[in-house]
Chains A and B, each alone.
Chain A
């Protein structure tokens, strides 16, 4: 797993922009304040030198971000170096042409920093909202992802499919500043999805939401195998690992501060309770949940790097915690985790 010698390991954070009542104060943040906080968070992430800032897409009242590229464009103006990614774009219920136009524009505004993570979405509200049939969930995504790739590769596209009117030598504009916008396929836990990411030569953004990272190793292997079999160069088969996380000055502080918000978040979004012992036990490297002090987070990332040889770690950091906690965790990620991990991995 030393194929990363030529390229640098990257760090990022992402958020979905949830609006959840604070479990401690009971206070509800407004959508306006949430968006402003997100922009501030991105500015801070850029200032401290993180590589990627990601933003989700949801179409419900308990999320502030549905127009992901619009917010990314605002962030582009407020930042200098950080790459701007959707995390993820719910491609099945979007028009790939419009998605490409939006992100290509973000790329021009930001001086070539746009990226697209395309996913099927864990929530399904966008299907009735935009008039799609949930029965076509998988087929919609596959067709649109394939079209998005065509649009990225060619400035004139002729294309025919089932879910969108055909394109006949249509002009796809504007073209991005980068020769192509990096496209990642969001993969949850299905091996078939990892295989498809490899076959198409996309980067794979693999979400590990807790549990032992060993369990997803077969997906990483399936992805690489499929990519190589399809003739893609191994160095282009990039892997990003994404997971929920929080960093405190110590593991104890991290667990203390994180548990109420994480538990609240999981209860609101998934309807499950998270007992305290589960979060306290998660600081071990055998758990992918990225909670701990800097030392534990470094250990987790290096252990996962041994397993996966991945290229990026992107932490879903902001789950509607107080901005001060988010800011502190970003500082720690950039100053106490990133340099150690980068040194260790790049010297391998």
Chain B
């Protein structure tokens, strides 16, 4: 199973801190899962110009290919101006239609205000649904006050991350099994 974790902001540290915790949890509890973290702050991604994703070069090509090859994607994102950051939207725009079909996608949201709790419901999930992702319905929502100096200081967050990681793995395995059974129905 290939899981891709994405820290989808190019500024700040909280999303990256949260995603480090996600990666640690995968490594600790699921040794057979191949987990990779891509942090947009460390990459140089171009804007989408509509070409086939296989034809992007450099970091843009690297991340689109990684997303398309992943069985599951954990998206870590802050909330900017009551929405997802443009850097994350651009990732979706780089991909073809139905790009997330047969993929499990889960979300870790960092936000400066509890008022942003429903942003993922209203703005991120519709995009993921449109792209045909199987969504892990509950997401981890982490507030400003749960961080201190690039560390998570609220233990409850770790439990919630552990649960998210478990759900992601279980759903990915289940859907893979369902798909396999469906394919086996055809004798070709």
- Give the interface of A toward B (CB within 8 A): 122-125, 134, 255-256, 259-260, 269-273, 275-277, 280
Contacts of B55 in A (CB 8 A): 123-125
A256 to B96, CA, bound (A): 27
CA distance A270 to B64 in the complex (A): 12
Q: Does B51 have its Cβ within 8 Å of any Cβ on chain A?
A: yes
Query: Known: A124-B55, A271-B65, A272-B96. Contact between A277 and B182, CB under 8 A?
Result: yes
Q: B49, B53, B188 — which one has the most chain A CB atoms within 10 A of its CB?
A: B188
Please tell me which one of the listed residues A123, A134, A280 contacts residue B49 in the complex, with CB atoms under 8 A apart. A134
Contact partners of B53 in chain A: CB under 8 A:
271
**CB <8 Å contact, A122 and B188:** no
A123 and B51 alpha carbons, distance in the complex (Å): 8
Please, how many angstroms separate the alpha-carbon atoms of A2 and B173 in the complex?
A: 54
Instruction: Kindly provide the distance from the CB of A59 to the nearest chain B CB, expressed in whole angstroms.
Output: 13
Q: Which residues of B contact A (CB under 8 A)?
A: 49, 51-55, 65, 68, 96, 98-99, 102, 179, 182-183, 186, 188
Given A271-B68, A272-B96, A273-B102, residue A124 in contact with residue B186 (CB < 8 A):
no
Once the chains are docked, how many angstroms separate the CA of A124 from the CA of B54? 11
Alpha-carbon distance between A255 and B185 when the two chains are bound, in angstroms: 14
Say which residue of A270, A276, A277, A280 sits within 8 Å of B96 (CB atoms): A270
What is the minimal beta-carbon distance from A60 to any residue of chain B, in angstroms?
10
Q: In the assembled complex, which residues on chain A have CB atoms less than 8 Å from the CB atom of B183? A: 275-277
Are the C-beta atoms of B96 and A275 separated by less than 8 Å? no
A123: chain B residues at CB < 8 Å are 52, 55
Min CB gap A149→B, angstroms: 26
A283 to B136, CA, bound (A): 33
Instruction: Please give, as numbers and ranges, the residues of chain B lying within 8 Å of A272 by CB-CB distance.
Output: 68, 96, 98-99
Using CB atoms, name the residue of chain A closest to B55.
A124
**Interface contact B179-A275, CB-CB below 8 Å:** yes
Query: Which 10 pairs across A and B sit closest by C-beta, in order of nearness?
Result: A256-B188, A276-B186, A271-B54, A276-B183, A271-B68, A124-B51, A124-B55, A259-B188, A280-B186, A277-B182
22 A-B contacts (beta carbon < 8 Å):
A122-B52, A123-B52, A125-B55, A134-B49, A134-B51, A255-B188, A269-B54, A270-B52, A270-B54, A270-B96, A271-B52, A271-B53, A271-B54, A271-B68, A272-B68, A272-B99, A273-B102, A275-B179, A276-B186, A276-B188, A277-B182, A280-B186
Shortest distance in angstroms between A229's beta carbon and chain B's nearest beta carbon?
A: 28
Return A104 CB to nearest CB of chain B, in Å. Answer: 32
Residues on B with beta carbons closer than 8 Å to the beta carbon of A255: 188
Contacts of A273 on B, CB cut-off 8 Å? 102
Q: B65's closest neighbor in chain A, by CB?
A: A271
Q: Which residues of B contact A270 (CB under 8 A)?
A: 52, 54, 96
Give the shortest distance, in Å, between B68 (CB) and chain A (any CB).
Answer: 5
Q: In the complex, what distance in Å separates the CA atom of A270 from the CA atom of B98?
A: 12
* Nearest-CB residue, chain B, relative to A135: B49
- CB-based nearest A residue for B97: A272
By a CB distance below 8 angstroms, the chain B residues around A134 are 49, 51
CA distance A326 to B165 in the complex (A): 48
* A217 CB, nearest partner CB in chain B, Å: 19
> Inside 8 A of A259's CB, which chain B residues have their CB?
188
Q: Please, which residue of chain A has its CB at the minimum distance from the CB of B95?
A: A271
CA gap between A91 and B177 in the complex, in Å: 46
